Chain A
Amino acid sequence: MAFKGLDYYDLDELLSEEDRMVRDMTRDWVSDAVMPIIDEAYENAVFPRHLVPQIGELGLLGANLPEEYGCAGMGPTAYGIICQELERGDSGLRSFVSVQGSLVMWPIFAYGSEEQKRRWLPEMAKGNKIGCFGLTEPDHGSDPGGMITNAKKDGADWILNGAKMWITNGTIADVAVVWAQTEDGIQGFLVEAGTPGFTAPEQKRKYSLRASVTSELVFDDVRVPDSARFPNVKGLKGPLGCLSQARYGIAWGAIGAAMACYDEALQYTLGREQFGKPLAGFQLIQAKLAEMVTEITKAQLICWRLAKLKEAGKIRPQHVSLAKRNNVAMALDIARVARDMLGANGITAEYQCMRHMCNLESVYTYEGTHSIHTLILGQDVTGIAAFE
Chain B
Amino acid sequence: MKIVVCVKRVPSTDSRIKIAADGTSLDTSSIEWILSPYDEFALETALRIKDAATDTEVVVLCLGPSDATKELRTCLALGADRAIHLEDDGASRHDAQVTSGLLAEAIAAEAPELVLCGKLAADSDQGQVGLLLSYRLGFPCVTEARELTAADGKVTAKRAAGGGTSEIWELPLPALVTITKGEHEPRYASLKGIMAAKKKPIDASDVSAPAETLRVTLMELPAERQAGRIVGEGAEAVGELVRLLREEAKVI
Contacts and interface: CB of A to CB of B under 8 A. Distances in A.
B215 to A, nearest CB: 32
Given A2-B12, A17-B70, A74-B195, A57 B189 contact: no
B192 A59 contact: yes
B69 to A, nearest CB: 8
A187 B86 CA distance: 59
B205 interface: no
Contacts, number: 45
Given A57-B190, A58-B191, A78-B191, A18 B198 contact: yes
A73 B199 CA distance: 14
A2 B15 CA distance: 10
A63 B195 CA distance: 11
A72 interface: yes
Interface in A99-117: none
B192 A21 contact: no
Given A2-B12, A17-B73, A25 B195 contact: no
Interface string B153-194: 000000000000000000000000000000000001111101
B72 to A, nearest CB: 11
B92 interface: no
Given A18-B194, A58-B188, A73-B195, A2 B14 contact: yes
A384 interface: no
Interface residues of B, number: 15
Nearest to B193: A59
A53 to B, nearest CB: 12
A178 interface: no
Contact of A25 (B12, B14, B70, B189): B189
Contacts of A60: 191
B128 interface: no
The secondary-structure label for the interface of chain B is helix
Nearest to B13: A2
B75 to A, nearest CB: 11
B56 interface: no
Contacts of B192: 59, 67, 72
Nearest to B78: A25
Contacts of B191: 22, 58-60, 63, 72, 74, 78
- In the complex, which of the residues B14, B70, B188, B197 has the most CB atoms of chain A within 10 Å of its own CB atom? B188
Contacts of B189: 21, 25
A29 B188 contact: yes
- The size bracket of the interface on A is 20 to 34
Nearest to A82: B191
A1 interface: yes
Contacts of B188: 25, 28-29, 58
Contacts of A73: 195
Contacts of B77: 21, 25
A73 B189 CA distance: 15
Nearest to B70: A17
B74 interface: yes
Given A2-B12, A18-B195, A74-B195, A59 B190 contact: yes
B73 A21 contact: yes
Contacts of B12: 2
Contacts of B73: 17, 21
Contacts of B190: 25, 57-59, 72
Nearest to B14: A1
Contacts of A57: 190
B100 to A, nearest CB: 30
Contacts of A22: 191, 194
User: Chain B CB within 10 Å — which of A18, A28, A78 has the most?
Assistant: A18
Nearest to A54: B188
Interface string A15-31: 00110011011001100
Contacts of A58: 188, 190-191
A18 B197 CA distance: 9
Contacts of A1: 14
Interface in A218-233: none
Interface in A62-95: 63, 67, 72-74, 78
Interface in B64-109: 70, 73-74, 77
Nearest to A60: B191
Nearest to B77: A21
A344 B134 CA distance: 59
A337 B190 CA distance: 36
A383 B236 CA distance: 78
A301 B47 CA distance: 38
A260 B195 CA distance: 28
A2 B194 CA distance: 21
A291 to B, nearest CB: 26
A251 B138 CA distance: 58
A25 B194 CA distance: 10
A262 B77 CA distance: 31
Nearest to B186: A28
A193 B77 CA distance: 37
Contact of A72 (B70, B74, B195, B198): B195
* 10 cross-chain pairs, A with B, having the tightest CB-CB distances, nearest first: A59-B191, A72-B191, A59-B190, A21-B194, A25-B189, A1-B14, A58-B190, A25-B188, A59-B192, A29-B188
28 contacts: A1-B14, A2-B12, A18-B194, A18-B197, A18-B198, A21-B73, A21-B74, A21-B77, A21-B197, A22-B191, A24-B74, A25-B189, A25-B190, A28-B188, A29-B188, A57-B190, A58-B191, A59-B190, A59-B191, A63-B191, A67-B192, A67-B195, A72-B191, A72-B192, A72-B194, A72-B195, A74-B195, A78-B191
Given A18-B198, A25-B194, A72-B191, 7 more contacts: A25-B188, A58-B190, A59-B190, A67-B192, A67-B195, A72-B192, A74-B191
